[in-house]
Amino acid sequence: MAELHGNFSLLHRACTLLVAVCILHLSVVIFFYLRTYNIVARVQTPVASQYITTTSVPTTPEVATEGNKTLQYCPNTPPKLEGPLYVDFSEPVKLEGIMKNTRLALGGHFRPSECVSEQKVAVIIPFRDREQHLKYWLFYMHPILQRQQLDYGVYIIEQGYMEALKEYDYNCFVFSDVDLIPVDDRNIYKCYDQPRHLSVAMDKFGFRLPYNEYFGGVSSLSKEQYLKINGFPNNYWGWGGEDDDVYNRLTFRGMSISRPDHQIGRCKMIRHARDKLNEPNPHRFSRISQTKQTMEKDGINSLSYSVMSWEKNRLYTKVVVDIGKPPHL
Ligand code: BGC
């Protein structure tokens, strides 16, 4: 009987040890699994703080605003960010909900009421006949930009830099394709110490850069950075190349490109056929090879256009301009 009891307690101890080893093994496996998918890191660190480098934002001093109200600067990491987002282009979207957002002023202007945003951001969307894309863009982007606590205005326009500045002293310019939506709101649409390329992981390119020098899709430049490169080139007609020219300009002026982490910089493109009347520009490669010689005389200082109309609604300001015809036509 005693021998039986002894064997049983030995067996009991062996089983306990085996269960403990199994639990330990399982914990290690779960830990490494979560870490692979960035979940552990995300729980431990405040949202986005390790990825986002910002311009020299004061660390929360008090600032006085209109009237007798005293507000603080908005924090570097806005508190209401959600992280990865669900973005879907398979169903039509309705803008009525956002239209009723009383915090949006006419022309698609917004500024947070709870804090003072250090930057004034003009979001500029070059646009032609893409009403459906614009609808998705407005539907997804207004809530994101508001969670990012930006003081911003939306301009649907060519030559956006000049026209936006006629309205407000913007000090940051975000240039966005109308068909691109970020799928993570930690990708903050503002300006940084260096020019920022924001659309670094597009679904169209398998969530990676198509090439290291790629600066297309969505980018941001402070007013200072924009002036340093004499703005964007005007001598590109048709599709392609102008973003590569901007990249060249930035490097020739000694700047480097800042980018978010590939997880945070993911974005989705609305699939579409190539625009008619916007064929690939056959001269783009030779133009790109001459940026160094052309950038000083082709840019803001050579801009020539006439404004045809201004239209403002709750969600955006639309400016139609006449930029003339390509020189060879
Ligand atoms: C064009 C760019 C374009 C990129 C990705 C390049 O060949 O010059 O303008 O953004 O391809 O599509």
Residue-wise pLDDT for 145-195, tens only, equals: 999 999 999 999 877 799 999 999 999 999 999 999 999 999 999 999 999
What whole-number percentage of the chain has pLDDT above 70? 84
Q: Which residue has the higher pLDDT, 13 or 257?
A: 257
Q: Is residue 240 in contact with ligand 1, taking CB distance under 6 Å?
A: yes
Q: Is residue 120 in contact with ligand 1, taking CB distance under 6 Å?
A: no
For residue 240, report the distance from its CA to the centre of ligand 1, in Å. Answer: 5
The pLDDT of residue 46? 31
Q: Which residue has the higher pLDDT, 123 or 1?
A: 123
**CA 233-328-164 angle, 5° bins:** 30
Indicate whether 146 belongs to any domain. Answer: yes
Residue 4's pLDDT band (boundaries 50, 70, 90)? low
Indicate whether 30 belongs to any domain. Answer: no
Cα(52)–Cα(49) distance, integer angstroms = 6
Across the range 69-75, mean pLDDT stands at 91
Which residue has 């004499």 as its token pair?
Answer: 230
Residue 142's pLDDT band (boundaries 50, 70, 90)? very high
Cite the DSSP H helix spans in the chain. 2-36, 39-44, 96-99, 131-147, 160-165, 223-228, 242-252, 284-288, 291-294
Rg of the chain, C-alpha, whole Å: 25
The pLDDT of residue 12? 83
Residue 220's pLDDT band (boundaries 50, 70, 90)? very high
Please give the number of the atom of ligand 1 that sits closest to the Cα of 210: 5
Q: Is the pLDDT of residue 270 over 90?
A: yes
Indicate whether 159 belongs to any domain. Answer: yes
Mutate to test the pocket of ligand 1, among 214, 246, 249, 286 (most ligand atoms within 8 A of CB): 214
Please give the number of the atom of ligand 1 that sits closest to the Cα of 285: 8
Question: With contact defined as beta carbons under 8 Å apart, do 139 and 98 qualify?
Answer: yes
Total structural domains in the chain?
Answer: 1
The pLDDT of residue 45? 31
What whole-number percentage of the chain has pLDDT above 90? 69
Mutate to test the pocket of ligand 1, among 180, 244, 286 (most ligand atoms within 8 A of CB): 244
Please give the number of the atom of ligand 1 that sits closest to the Cα of 241: 8
The pLDDT of residue 27? 74
Across the range 282-286, mean pLDDT stands at 95
Q: Which CATH number is 122's domain given?
A: 3.90.550.10
Residue 57's pLDDT band (boundaries 50, 70, 90)? very low
**pLDDT digits over 181-210, tens only?**
999 999 999 999 999 999 999 999 999 999
Indicate whether 305 belongs to any domain. Answer: yes
The β-bridge relationship of strands 120-125 and 151-157 is parallel
Q: Which residue has the higher pLDDT, 53 or 72?
A: 72
Across the range 60-66, mean pLDDT stands at 64
Across the range 94-108, mean pLDDT stands at 92
Q: Tell the residue nearest (CA) to atom 3 of ligand 1.
A: 240
Indicate whether 78 belongs to any domain. Answer: no
Q: Is residue 244 in contact with ligand 1, taking CB distance under 6 Å?
A: yes
Q: Which residue has the higher pLDDT, 7 or 130?
A: 130
Indicate whether 12 belongs to any domain. Answer: no
Residue 64's pLDDT band (boundaries 50, 70, 90)? low
Domain that holds residue 181: 93-272+280-322
Q: Is the pLDDT of residue 67 over 50?
A: yes
The pLDDT of residue 41? 33
Indicate whether 51 belongs to any domain. Answer: no
Indicate whether 294 belongs to any domain. Answer: yes
Q: Is the pLDDT of residue 54 over 90?
A: no
